Amino acid sequence: MIEYTAIIRDTAKKLLKDGKVDVFIGYKKGTVPMMNEPVVISDPEKVDTLHWDSLCGLNLCNYLTKRKDKIGIIANGCNSRNIVTHILENQISREQLYIVGIPCTGVIDHRAVLRAVGNKEVLDVQEQGDKFTVSGNGFSETFDKAKFLRTNCAVCTHRNPVIYDEMVASPVKEQEGVDPFEDVKKIEAMDPEKKWGFFTKMIERCLRCYACRNSCPLCYCPTCFVDESKPQWVGKSIDPTDTMTFHIMRAYHCAGRCTDCGACERVCPVGIPMRQFTKKLNKDALEYFSWEAGLNPDARPPLDVYKPDDYNDFVK
Amino acid sequence: MTNKIFTKEEWTKALQGLSDSYKVFVPVKDGDFHTFKPMNATKAPDFDFQNTRLSARSLVYPQAERMFEYSLDENDPEANIIKETPKDYSPQAIVGIRPCDAHGFKIVKPNFDNKEYRDPWWIQHFESTVLVGLGCNQPCSTCFCASVGGGPFNKDVLDVLIYDLGANFMVSGLTEKGEAFLSKAQGGKAADDAAVKQAEALATEAAKKVKADVPTDKLKDKVINDLFAAPFWQDVGFACLNCGTCTYLCPTCWCFDIQDEVLGKQGDRIRNWDSCMFPLFTLHGSGHNPRDQKFQRVRQRFMHKLKYYVDKYQGGVQCSGCGRCVRYCPVNIDIRQVAELMNNY
Amino acid sequence: MRGVPLQNPYLPYPVRIDKITTETTDKNLKTFRFVFLNPEDEKKFAYTPGQFAELSVPGKGEIPIGIASSPTEKGFVAFTVNKVGLVTNYMHNMKEGEIMGIRGPLGNWYPWEEMEGKNIVIVGGGFAFTTLRSSIVYMIQPENRARFKDISVVYGARNPGLLLYRDELAEWEKRDDINMHITVDGTDDPDWKYNVGFVPAITEKKITSADNAIAIVCGPPIMIKFTQPVLEKLGFPPERIILSLEMRMKCGIGICGRCNIGDKYVCKDGPVFSLAKLKQMPGEY
């Protein structure tokens, strides 16, 4: 996808020059391999900073919340679905946005790459079409990108943006026959005790740094429940109960809203696969409400509407 | 100074023996990365690593630590009287700590131990710790220890230094504490001149590999308010998520919060690591927050490390160049670049 | 390996609540008078006006509060507590006789050496009058009064019911060795016999000279903001305008990092700063 870079730069330059947008939000190439930094640009002469490759794995929608200006932004499938959610939740208006759509072929899992090279230090990554070459001191290896996709990208069925003002390339073919919930089903099959054990072990290393929460465009509350002090709902130490409370509550706040963009897992400094929580809720949203978040800017999410004919008595 | 040679197997065995006299912490592979764990028979130490994901700071200054305890039971004559929580200060050894992380302890020391106030817990944990460092044969591209007063084989602060000679370790006692530790280590033999020469050569080689070009030399001459008002902070902070990754992985961050936690009629006063990245850190009871914007918090972290600390202690920067924040910042905010911006402003 | 046993600077002295006085008509401010459970702790708690302490409620936490009593008042130590957060809300429901802790004294104090032989101008607003009360009581003691020249006090609150220490204010009004200028932002009380007007305006009207004078200012940010130019216009140089900062604090001893501004910790290097010093620090307060 690195070939999109030139098109993104040209588009951004034109938008900024023509005054169609005040700023343009994208990525710049990172200072270390496999890292890229979100960047905002207002000077059309500085668009050459912009960069896109298969390692841009954050969610740029995170940077839109409550902005007042006119913004150009790049968005692949999941990011565009979060923009839709942001619009539905009144965090930004469609009129403020000029969305440059990216047909996405998936983001590389940097941890899988490190594992594949025996956790040696990677000094350079070169992307060529559907392959990429990783090199470091005394090694150089070429891999198929398809085999190194992040686990959310590997099962993604919405690679193309759902809203956009223009596209950097023609849409890519959507993946078919993938089961996004294979792992969830495995956990569902566990008995409660085993399930609890699984999740307890999973979050054991959590530092409570809140990178997962803060990288998530859904988490924009001015004061998060974990930060409330009157009353204080959650303790602030690394007590396992408090940590579990944080993770479960966070996941529930994402129910029916999560696009499985994978930013939370990408940013975790200790590699916790916390999508195991949100994916279960995504599965429930799909099964109970035929709902996938962010696909339709005109439909209210199932958990924020009231229907007089709801089949549950308690909401009537 | 004792120089001893151990085969790698002998060294592991020696550490097992030392576990009778010390709580021995060793690097252990835990999933994708290494972490310090107490030495035990089930999981062998693994000295083949670049650095542990988290610094060893939590072994001297735990992420959550009980300070005091008290009873809230009205029938207890001592109710509501706050008392010190008993602590175990028996000797411990951190084996395999990198010189940069050991240097971190020296950097934070004046905060916890100064002429006005002495933090009893940090000081006693630190004094009961033997730092058994492992020199870096292969510094990472993101390491810049040499720019900030350290180096891949820097002996400063360490009690023992281990040289990885391939099949063997050469282990050198550097302080009295370190010699005492080594004297209890079973096995090994005195290192001959060839081994000492080989070790010295490794250190020289490594020093050449580590980047020493992160500029900090002009920071002390800057005026705080000039740097504070510099135009680049909004840009530096744009991508920041305000998570605690940088501050929690850092060997030289020391901020903490104090919280009371109660179960039934028994309470504890606990201190927990805190982070200047969190908005709550400076939120006043009145609702006023002097650092309510993201870029202000990013600025605080860099200004504290690279300017306020420099001015306060008239020494180097509050950074040991371990490079963790460079490698693990989820949005790639790079302290090396920020140091350059500040130094050249 | 361990040297001398360390004194634990985080350990509060146990105290008993001796007396609680509700100060304001909105009942949001109460003064707590504490007596040390161990008499020797009172000696260790030797303080100077301007300092603060951490009030420590087991199970709730600690809050930094300026010391409202004067070291010349023996046998107790007093704090006036505004009901704002978890700890202070809890304290407002506590009763006389209950046990809690205090930790201190902490921070620096008003520049008493520098203040000797000078005219003292005290400007206070609202509930930030606590350490100013301590200072006034301290200065008007017969053994101290001669060390200072004229003492002028401008103290204001939104309305008469929100003034702290009203009985004492009335007593000080009667004295001829202290010039009191009490004011309220507004009142519908026809018997109100003092000033009406904001603190900066009353300061401008009543304080006529900065000659050989030092000003101590404590109050809400908005009052400080507008008082500062008045004092500068009167001729007070920034070195002789003294302010006390409020900041979120935890440890109170310059270790936990929370109240850091520039190369200073408000808890240890402050809370008292001259305007000259503050001007060299980032304005993050």
The secondary structure of B244-279 as a DSSP string is SHHHHH-TT---EEEEEEEETTEEEEEEEE--TTSG
Q: How many residues does chain B have?
A: 345
Q: How far apart are CA C147 and CA C149, in angstroms?
A: 7
Q: How far apart are CA A239 and CA C20, in angstroms?
A: 37
Q: Does A46 touch chain B (CB under 8 A)?
A: no
- Beta carbons of B241 and A32 less than 8 Å apart: no
Does A240 share its domain with A160?
no
Q: How far apart are CA B189 and CA B168, in angstroms?
A: 11
Q: Which domain holds residue C93?
A: 13-106
**Contact indicator for C121, C133 with CB cutoff of 8 Å:** no
Query: Is B214 contained in some domain?
Result: no
For residue A191, count CB atoms less than 10 angstroms from its CB and return exposed for 0-12, middle for 13-18, buried for 19 or more: exposed
Number of domains in chain B: 2
Q: How far apart are CA B168 and CA B43, in angstroms?
A: 20
Mean pLDDT of B227-237: 96
Q: How far apart are CA A274 and CA C255, in angstroms?
A: 34
Name the residue with tokens 């131990």.
B113
Does C149 share its domain with C236?
yes
Query: Is A121 contained in some domain?
Result: no
Name residue C224's amino acid. Answer: I
Residue C27's CATH number:
2.40.30.10
Q: Which two tokens stand for residue B280?
A: 């709550």
- Beta carbons of B118 and C6 less than 8 Å apart: yes
Is residue B234 scored above 80 in pLDDT? yes
Q: Which domain holds residue A279?
A: 179-316
Does B197 share its domain with B48?
yes
For B60, the 3-state DSSP assignment is coil
Is residue B287 scored above 90 in pLDDT? no
Q: Does A32 touch chain B (CB under 8 A)?
A: yes
The domain boundary, picked from B146, B178, B209, lies at: B209
> Helix, strand, coil proportions of chain A in percent (round to 5)?
35, 15, 45
**Contact indicator for C56, C102 with CB cutoff of 8 Å:** yes
Q: How far apart are CA B277 and CA B208, in angstroms?
A: 35
Does A170 share its domain with A69?
yes
Does A166 share its domain with A277?
no
Number of domains in chain C: 2
Query: Is C72 contained in some domain?
Result: yes
Q: Which two tokens stand for residue C13?
A: 């002295």
Taking residue C46's Cβ as centre, other Cβ atoms within 10 Å add up to 9
Interface residue of A32, A203, A267 to substitute, partner B, most B CBs within 10 Å? A32
Does A228 share its domain with A90?
no
Binding residue numbers of C for [2Fe-2S] cluster = 251, 256, 259, 267
Q: Which two tokens stand for residue B52?
A: 């542990």
Chain A residues near residue B245 by CB distance under 8 angstroms? 209, 211, 267, 269
**Contact indicator for C160, C184 with CB cutoff of 8 Å:** yes
The domain boundary, picked from B209, B242, B263, lies at: B209
pLDDT score, position A310: 79
The low-confidence residues of chain C, meaning pLDDT below 50, are: 1-4
Beta carbons within 8 Å of B120's beta carbon, 6+ residues apart: C6, C7, C8, C9, C10
Does A246 share its domain with A159?
no
pTM for the full predicted model? 0.95
- Beta carbons of A239 and B63 less than 8 Å apart: no
The domain boundary, picked from B209, B231, B256, lies at: B209
**Cα distances (angstroms) measured from residue A294 to each of A77, A176, B282, C115:** 10, 20, 35, 67
Number of domains in chain A: 2
Chain C residues near residue B117 by CB distance under 8 angstroms? 9, 253-255, 268
Q: How far apart are CA B315 and CA B307, in angstroms?
A: 10
pLDDT score, position A88: 95
Query: Is C122 contained in some domain?
Result: yes
**Contact indicator for B23, B206 with CB cutoff of 8 Å:** no
Query: Is A120 contained in some domain?
Result: no
Shortest Cα–Cα distance, C155 to chain A (Å): 32
Does B124 share its domain with B183?
yes
**Contact indicator for A175, A159 with CB cutoff of 8 Å:** yes
- Taking CA atoms, what residue in A is nearest to C85? A230
pLDDT score, position C5: 53
Beta carbons within 8 Å of C201's beta carbon, 6+ residues apart: none
* Peptide linkage before A231 cis (omega within 30 of 0): yes
Does C211 share its domain with C95?
no
- Taking CA atoms, what residue in C is nearest to B296? C284
**Cα distances (angstroms) measured from residue A200 to each of A260, B64, C269:** 22, 19, 44
Does C24 share its domain with C99?
yes
Q: Which domain holds residue B87?
A: 3-209
What is the 3-class SS of chain C, one letter each residue? CCCCCCCCCCCCEEEEEEEEEECCCCCCEEEEEEEECCHHHHHHCCCCCCCEEEEEECCCEEEEEECCCCCCCCCCEEEEEECCCHHHHHHHCCCCCCEEEEEEEECCCCCHHHHCCCEEEEEEEHHHHHHHHHHHHHHCCHHHHCCCCCEEEEEEECCHHHCCCHHHHHHHHHCCCCEEEEEECCCCCCCCCCEECCHHHHHHHHCCCCCCEEEEEECCHHHHHHHHHHHHHHCCCHHHEEEECCCCCCCCCCCCCCCEECCEEHHHHCCEEEHHHHHCCCCCC
**Contact indicator for C156, C185 with CB cutoff of 8 Å:** yes
Query: Is C128 contained in some domain?
Result: yes
Helix C199-206 with C221-234: angle, nearest 10 deg: 20
Does C223 share its domain with C193?
yes
Q: What is the pLDDT of residues C114-133, one digit of tens each?
A: 999 999 999 999 999 999 99
Query: Is A314 contained in some domain?
Result: yes
Residue C154's CATH number:
3.40.50.80
Query: Is C55 contained in some domain?
Result: yes
* Peptide linkage before C271 cis (omega within 30 of 0): yes
Q: How far apart are CA A220 and CA B242, in angstroms?
A: 12
Query: Is B64 contained in some domain?
Result: yes
| CA angle at B329 for the pair B326 and B331, rounded to the nearest 5° | 115
Query: Is B287 contained in some domain?
Result: yes
pLDDT score, position C6: 64
pLDDT score, position A232: 86
pLDDT score, position B43: 80
Does C119 share its domain with C212?
yes
- Taking CA atoms, what residue in C is nearest to A230? C86
Q: Does A232 touch chain C (CB under 8 A)?
A: yes
The ipTM, to two decimals, is: 0.94
Query: Is A163 contained in some domain?
Result: yes
pLDDT score, position B211: 78
**Contact indicator for C111, C271 with CB cutoff of 8 Å:** no
Element (H, E) at A312: none
> Burial letters for B76-108: b for 16+ Cβ neighbours within 10 Å, e otherwise?
eeeebbbeeeeeeeebbbbbbbbbbbbbbbbbb
Q: Which two tokens stand for residue C175?
A: 């004295």
> Helix, strand, coil proportions of chain B in percent (round to 5)?
35, 20, 45
Does B143 share its domain with B29?
yes
Contacts 24+ apart (CB under 8 A), B335-340: B335/B214, B335/B302, B335/B305, B336/A31, B336/B144, B336/B214, B337/A31, B338/B236, B338/B302, B338/B306, B339/B214, B339/B215, B339/B216, B339/B219, B339/B302, B339/B306, B340/B214, B340/B215
Does C124 share its domain with C233?
yes
Does C94 share its domain with C49?
yes
Q: How far apart are CA A49 and CA B207, in angstroms?
A: 33
- What's the N-to-C CA distance of chain B in angstroms? 45
β-pair partners for B117: none
Can you give the pLDDT of all 316 residues of chain A as single tens digits?
899 999 999 999 999 999 999 999 999 999 999 999 999 999 999 999 999 999 999 999 999 999 999 999 999 999 999 999 999 999 999 999 999 999 999 999 999 999 999 999 999 999 999 999 999 999 999 999 999 999 999 999 999 999 999 999 999 999 999 999 999 999 999 999 999 999 999 999 999 999 999 999 999 998 999 998 878 899 988 899 999 999 999 999 999 999 999 999 999 999 999 999 999 999 999 999 999 999 999 999 988 888 888 777 877 6
Chain B residues near residue C88 by CB distance under 8 angstroms? 285
Res. B42 pLDDT band, cuts 50 70 90? confident
